[in-house]
């Protein structure tokens, strides 16, 4: 049965030997061996300086590393005038390992296969990343736990599950993941992965910290995570931690390492609070030119028995991404004296000083770091130059490239010993994930060149707004002017979620990410101008403030003023308390961008016969809640919700939602709400342009 499931790589290997020369065979094998050993037990023993000597020296630089950085940035600067969208299409075509993800999807049919899935699986198949020696030392208790930091959308988890089912099916494994909460509208798209197709089905395994944001760079969330693990079953030892975090550095390509340095520091310090003796750590880094990365690598080399750097074949050769594989942790007892000082610098701000004095880092270690940088930088530059040459000359890929891609994909399958697993052994299920809505996979909006984006920042406010409008005006206008929102019955119990208070909406489950980013850009321009423009306009809200017809009342909101969930809840509650039976309540400017606002609309369906959305050219849409039916039980629920909001408000927190997002996803009216948000953003942008 296993042989039937195996994707055959024998035939491509024969073709490789018979039809291609030995140089090509050698090159393909070399692609799978981009590795560099930094330290290894019994060969390079490093020791940490005393804690009191840490963070005492001013930031330092090493000239040899800075020369490598300048050389790399000089090559990367050649891309500044290239249209980013066209460049990415070109590099995807040129990437000889670019068919691996598709091959694994089609032939292995694994769960949530992405580039990250393939990278993790390759590393796990090349290094002793999964600590089976420690897990299986007790034949009667083969339990272990893994923690995955900055993990969204969850591909490392599904890849590890697949690996275990093939290589250690008798091991009992549990996992927990931490990531920026995709349901926190205060988390910006540029910092997080919005794809929740796997997350929504495995929420009990995801932990978003004390403030529910999932921000691993907040020490309070680290403390909450440590406390959570102290309460878990101690039989399941934490023996593997992965950290795949990054930040969008498209607008600062020359300073990627510095931009993400504090995140990588926090991931590493979190690991040292959670990992148990003998465990392993996988950390994504980029270049190692600056003191932050050099010191971090020295810290890892002192607390793990083996440290290596690798660039998987599935990581695009033209980027700086690489993974640090740390094997056999010396234990929390070893690092315990250093944890207090490491925690002191666990924040969103860079430490003023370097972690270690330069004199405390051995010269042989610095030489290894230089050689490692030089090794990976040379290969990256070779790929970039080759891509530039073919991009400028519009040279088509060699006719051999499709064949080479197939051979490399087959080599990947062979090296990783990949086979299908029984769908019953998947975590969620490939088919269920693929059926789940994928509209929240945030696409990068950068399509022009780096230089063009820089020039745009120098434009005046009105010019910037006009450029944004060029994109906004392409938003489709709804064909209908009238929507009846048939909201399904509420669940029997509510799930009140609270989290960190935020006053600006930076992401939304109810809007296309590109369109919401247009709204955010408009808001940024307005902030730069120190201007606030009401929408709907003051004239409209004043005109509607005192209705002549007593059969309805109007509740006015402002679409893009500072978001205040508590104010929204209290205004709705007190208006319902005063509303007379059979009256209609009309919402003007009510945003449907946040889960809480959508939840409240659902909840209000208990009080009214029906809810109608009417499209109006000058104000977006009106929500007409027709024929009020006073419901004391529902009012009591709303009072409890308001009290929960009061309690959260006292703690500088906010009420985020009252209905699980999974229920909202099943709503037939979900697409209508997305459409209404797009309409509102378009009309708001038009109003801004006309006013300014």
pLDDT (tens digit per residue) in 245-293: 988 766 676 687 888 899 999 999 999 999 999 999 999 999 999 999 9
Known binding residue 154? Answer is yes
Model pLDDT, residue 587: 94
Known binding residue 244? Answer is yes
Let me know how long the chain is.
692
Judged by DSSP in three states, 673 sits in helix
Sign of the C-alpha dihedral, residues 148, 152, 156, 157?
Answer: positive
Q: What is the pLDDT of residues 488-535, one digit of tens each?
A: 666 666 789 999 999 999 999 999 999 999 999 999 998 888 888 888
CA distance 644 to 666: 26
CA distance 689 to 251: 26
Model pLDDT, residue 446: 47
CA distance 40 to 272: 19
Strand 206-207 versus strand 172-178 pairing type:
parallel
User: What are the catalytic residues?
Assistant: 284
CA distance 486 to 609: 10
E runs forming strands in 475-521:
482-485, 497-500
CA distance 463 to 461: 5
Model pLDDT, residue 17: 45
Q: What does the CA dihedral 501, 154, 595, 622 come to, rounded to 10 degrees? A: 130
How distant, in Å, are the alpha carbons of 323, 497, 660 from that of 122? Answer: 11, 38, 36
CA distance 496 to 94: 49
Contact present, 222 and 216 (Cβ < 8 Å): yes
Contact present, 98 and 297 (Cβ < 8 Å): no
Name beta bridge partners: 205: none
Contact present, 372 and 38 (Cβ < 8 Å): yes
Q: Which residues in the chain show pLDDT less than 70?
A: 1-23, 42, 44, 136-140, 232-235, 249-251, 253-254, 348-350, 395-400, 437-456, 488-493, 543-549
* Closest C-alpha among 204, 214, 332 to residue 279: 332
Known binding residue 211? Answer is no
Model pLDDT, residue 1: 36
Model pLDDT, residue 450: 58
CA distance 93 to 88: 9
* Closest C-alpha among 103, 107, 96, 140 to residue 7: 107
Contact present, 326 and 284 (Cβ < 8 Å): no
- Please give the angle made by the CA atoms of 190, 567 and 611, to the nearest 5 degrees: 90
User: Which helix (H) or strand (E) covers residue 665, if one does?
Assistant: helix 661-665
CA distance 29 to 64: 30
Model pLDDT, residue 42: 67
CA distance 388 to 79: 8
CA distance 655 to 121: 39
CA distance 515 to 526: 17
Phi, psi of 242 (to 5 degrees): -120, 150
Q: What is the pLDDT of residues 384-421, one digit of tens each?
A: 998 888 888 876 555 457 888 888 999 999 999 999 99
Judged by DSSP in three states, 319 sits in coil
């Amino acid at each position: 049965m296993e042989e039937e499931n195996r994707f055959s790589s024998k035939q491509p290997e024969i073709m490789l030997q018979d039809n291609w020369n030995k140089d090509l065979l050698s090159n393909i094998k070399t692609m799978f061996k981009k590795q560099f050993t930094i330290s290894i037990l019994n060969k390079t023993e490093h020791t940490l300086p005393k804690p009191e000597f840490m963070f005492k020296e001013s930031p330092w630089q090493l000239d040899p590393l800075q020369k490598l950085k300048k050389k790399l940035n000089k090559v990367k600067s050649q891309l500044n005038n290239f249209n980013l969208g066209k460049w990415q299409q070109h590099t995807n075509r040129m990437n000889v390992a670019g068919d691996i993800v598709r091959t694994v999807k089609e032939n292995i049919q694994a769960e949530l296969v992405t580039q990250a899935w393939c990278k993790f699986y390759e590393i796990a198949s090349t290094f002793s990343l999964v600590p089976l020696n420690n897990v299986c030392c007790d034949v009667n208790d083969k339990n272990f736990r893994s923690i995955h930091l900055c993990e969204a959308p969850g591909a490392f988890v599904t890849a590890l599950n697949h690996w275990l089912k093939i290589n250690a099916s008798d091991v009992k494994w549990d996992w927990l993941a931490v990531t920026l909460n995709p349901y926190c509208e205060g988390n910006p798209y540029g910092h997080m992965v919005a794809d929740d197709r796997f997350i929504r089905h495995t929420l009990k395994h995801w932990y978003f910290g004390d403030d529910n944001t999932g921000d691993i760079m907040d020490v309070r969330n680290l403390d909450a995570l440590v406390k959570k693990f102290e309460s878990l079953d101690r039989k399941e030892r934490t023996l593997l931690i992965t950290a795949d975090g990054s930040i969008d550095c498209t607008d600062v390509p020359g300073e990627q390492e510095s931009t993400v340095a504090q995140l990588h520091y926090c991931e590493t310090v979190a690991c040292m609070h959670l990992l148990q003796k003998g465990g392993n750590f996988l950390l994504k880094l980029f270049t190692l030119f600056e003191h932050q990365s050099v010191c971090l690598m020295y810290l890892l080399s002192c607390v793990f028995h083996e440290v290596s750097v690798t660039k998987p074949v599935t990581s695009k050769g033209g980027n700086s991404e690489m993974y640090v594989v740390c094997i056999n942790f010396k234990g929390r007892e070893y690092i315990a004296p250093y944890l207090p000082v490491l925690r002191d610098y666990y924040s969103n701000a860079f430490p003023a000083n370097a972690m270690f004095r330069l004199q405390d880092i051995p010269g042989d270690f610095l030489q290894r770091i230089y050689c490692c940088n030089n090794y990976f930088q040379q290969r990256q530059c070779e790929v970039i130059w080759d891509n530039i040459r073919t991009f400028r000359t519009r040279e088509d890929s060699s006719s051999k490239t499709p064949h080479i891609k197939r051979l490399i994909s087959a080599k990947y399958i062979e090296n990783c010993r990949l086979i299908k697993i029984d769908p019953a052994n998947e975590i969620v299920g490939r088919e269920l994930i693929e059926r789940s809505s994928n509209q929240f996979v945030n696409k990068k909006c950068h399509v022009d060149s780096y230089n063009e984006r820089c020039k745009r920042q120098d434009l005046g406010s009105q010019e910037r707004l006009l450029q944004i409008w060029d994109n906004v005006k392409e938003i489709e206008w709804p064909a209908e002017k009238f929507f009846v929102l048939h909201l399904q019955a509420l669940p029997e119990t509510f799930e009140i979620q609270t989290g960190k208070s935020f006053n600006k909406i930076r992401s939304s489950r109810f809007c296309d990410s590109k369109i919401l980013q247009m709204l955010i850009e408009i808001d940024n321009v307005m902030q730069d101008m120190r201007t606030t423009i009401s929408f709907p306009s003051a004239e409209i809200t004043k005109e509607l403030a005192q209705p002549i017809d007593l059969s309805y009342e109007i509740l006015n909101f402002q679409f893009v003023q500072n978001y205040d969930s508590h104010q929204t809840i209290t205004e709705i509650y007190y208006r319902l308390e005063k509303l007379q039976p059979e009256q209609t309540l009309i919402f003007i400017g009510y945003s449907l961008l946040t889960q809480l606002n959508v939840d409240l609309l659902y909840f209000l369906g208990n009080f009214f016969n029906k809810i109608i959305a009417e499209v109006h050219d000058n104000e977006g849409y009106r929500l007409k809640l027709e024929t009020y039916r006073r419901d004391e039980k529902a009012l009591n629920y709303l009072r409890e919700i308001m009290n929960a909001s009061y309690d959260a408000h006292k703690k500088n927190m906010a009420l985020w939602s009252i209905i699980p997002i999974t229920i909202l996803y099943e709503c037939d009216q979900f697409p209508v709400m997305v459409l209404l948000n797009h309409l509102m953003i378009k009309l708001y942008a038009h109003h801004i342009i006309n006013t300014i």
